[in-house]
Amino acid sequence: MSLEFNQVVEQVQTMGRYLAHRANDAGTKLERALEWFYAATDLDAVHDRIKLVRESSVSGYRGAAPLPRPYDEIICGVGDRPAAPELAIVTASDGSQIYPDPHSFAQYYLINVSSFVYYYGETRVPLQATKPNLYYSENDTLDRDGRLVTNQTVNARRSLMEVQRLAELAWELRSEGVPLVAMHDGGLLKFFGGTEVAGAHEIERDYMKALEKLHDAGALLIGYLDVPRSKYLVSLLHLLNLAPEQVNDANLKTNGEIEGLTDDQIYSLVLQSGERSALMVQNSPQNREYKDRGAQYEIASFYLNVSHTATRSSIARIDVPMWVAQNKGAVAAIHALIMEQCAIQGRRHYPYALTRADELAYVSSVEKSQLDELIRVAMRRADLEPEESNKLQTKGLARSHKRQHRLKV
């Protein structure tokens, strides 16, 4: 059976009406949020409110907070685009994977990590490299209970390897004497816990070691989030507009009148091309743990309109460790170099170095098939007969002769 589109049409029309209603509701909430945003000019009042949720019995606040004095910035402040340094090095790392398949003829997974080095202001040719890592031993593919490791475990190990590669590059380039930006695709505040990630404690330990190496190398580490959906600012605005007696865990479970909004919705109306928001930190137990390992490892962030046109905003969230956030020159260099990187690709408002790293790391379905064939050959040479599970074989039979029909429009 194929999808019965005649049964879906009415549901799609209802969906359209729902989306229109939601857009109208969001417009009203945005007006209120902007009113509160531009009123947040008193940093002392903001610090007092954050102190209240940190030192009282209130424990459920997960929104934004200013940086510690004297590095704090006015919440509604906006930073203009600075001039880029004459010379700089931008590095990026990314990863791709083939997940373990319980129905495959062989239990394995693969992580392919790439790196890209871009020399800004110089004629040196960029450096690029990839390193595929194939995991097939039981120590790697099974958890402590003998079950095949989850996709979440593979993702966590890939994220670790990406940051470790950045740390290696930073150490190799530490004597260049120019700003050294290390770009990671995604946030820097990692959550490796949970029962679905095998060896989470060891992964977290090694991740922190990589951050320490980046710090020691003097790298300007950033985590780049292309489509941020965070609500740190929204939660802060809600907190600031509660009466003192209303500040409790029950009232902090939602964002009240502006529930449903995201930070990028607000900043798309606030930030012009090339402008950044104030630097803030996320108030959370996890970020507190990073800080407890060393004040320089607490994670801060700012939002940046990376669009180069005045007609359409493109809001990215930039995560930085505190050793970067507390250095105004470093923040300015990052701000400017991200804009330079995003300009290279024209309408694609995304850093060029991260794009190249992603392209290098990508493993296609064709390459996966070729790898499977190599593994089959290796198994036959070892007098083993590779065979898929019964389920996988019957799927192939059921789908092998299915025809695709196109809709006429």
User: What is the token pair recorded at 114?
Assistant: 């790439």
- Rounded to whole angstroms, how far apart are CA atoms 242 and 253? 13
Q: How far is CA 393 from CA 41, 103, 204, 331, 380, in A?
A: 64, 9, 39, 55, 19
Upstream peptide bond of 132 is cis (omega within 30 degrees of 0): no
Within 13 A of 291's CA, how many CA atoms are on the CB side?
Answer: 14
Q: Are 322 and 311 in contact (CB under 8 A)?
A: no
Contact assessment for residue 354 and residue 338, using Cβ atoms and an 8 Å cutoff: no
SS3 call for 99: coil
How do the residues of the chain divide into helix, strand and coil, expressed in percent and rounded to 5? 45, 15, 40
pLDDT tens per residue across span 33-85: 999 999 999 999 999 999 999 987 888 899 999 999 999 999 999 999 999 99
Nearest residue to 49 via CA among 234, 247, 232: 247
Provide the pLDDT for residue 388.
61
pTM of the model: 0.88
pLDDT score of 204: 94
Cα 128 from chain centre: 22
Q: Helix or strand or coil: residue 15? A: helix
Question: How many residues does the structure list for the chain?
Answer: 409
Dump the DSSP string for 328-372: HHHHHHHHHHHHHHHHTTTT--S-HHHHHHHHHH---HHHHHHHH
Ranges of the chain with pLDDT below 50:
392, 409
pLDDT of amino acid 339: 96
Angle between helices 352-361 and 328-343 (to 10 degrees): 70
- Nearest-angstrom CA–CA distance, 138 and 150: 14
Q: CB–CB of 152/194 below 8 Å?
A: yes
Q: CA 78, CA 374: separation in Å to the nearest integer?
A: 55
pLDDT given for residue 25 in this prediction:
65
Token pair 């003998």 is found at: 146
Residue 223 is predicted with a pLDDT of 97
What is d(CA 64, CA 139) in angstroms, rounded to the nearest whole number? 40
DSSP state of 178: S
